Amino acid sequence: MAYKSTHTFINLPVKDLNPSKEFFSSIGFEFNPQFSDENSACLVINDNTYVQLLTEPYFKTFVNKPLADAASAAAGIIALSADSRAHVDELADKALAAGGKQSKEPADHGFMYVRSFEDLDGHLWEIAYMDMGAFSQE
């Protein structure tokens, strides 16, 4: 039987927790205070997906490697789905208005529309809408 996780927890180091919380709040995300304190904030993506924003000193207690500087090197991309092209634009525009930076030009592949941005610490995020009807077989 293939392994299937029921929840996803992503951990990201941040330089300054409060501005990061303000950034993601202004996009429209909420935080779970139950799993948040002065060293971390639990960003709720959905009922099964969370991003734990950890201050860099606290994050370092979980790893045996030096931290990458996300502002100058890419280590990964966090991609989230949206309900429509308009929702993609809304979220990306909010991220840019909150101080994020556009990381790539919008990409329109017909069946998929993607906008990309960097958060305040340089982590890469994508918001994508996929027209699943384009994949239906008739």
Write phi, then psi, for 34 (nearest 5 degrees).
-60, -30
Average pLDDT estimate for 57-79: 94
Write phi, then psi, for 19 (nearest 5 degrees).
-60, -35
* Domains annotated on the chain, with CATH: 8-62 (3.10.180.10), 69-138 (3.10.180.10)
Residue 64 has pLDDT above 80, yes or no: yes
pLDDT digits (tens, 9 = 90+) for 1-51: 888 889 999 999 999 999 999 999 999 999 999 999 999 999 999 999 999
pTM of the model: 0.88
Average pLDDT estimate for 89-117: 96
Q: Identify the pLDDT of residue 84.
A: 95
Write phi, then psi, for 50 (nearest 5 degrees).
-135, 145
CB 20 within 8 A of CB 119: yes
Q: Identify the pLDDT of residue 19.
A: 98
How many CA atoms does the CB half-sphere of 77 hold within 13 Å?
13
DSSP per position, 53-85:
EEEHHHHHTT-SSPPP-TTTS---EEEEE-SSH
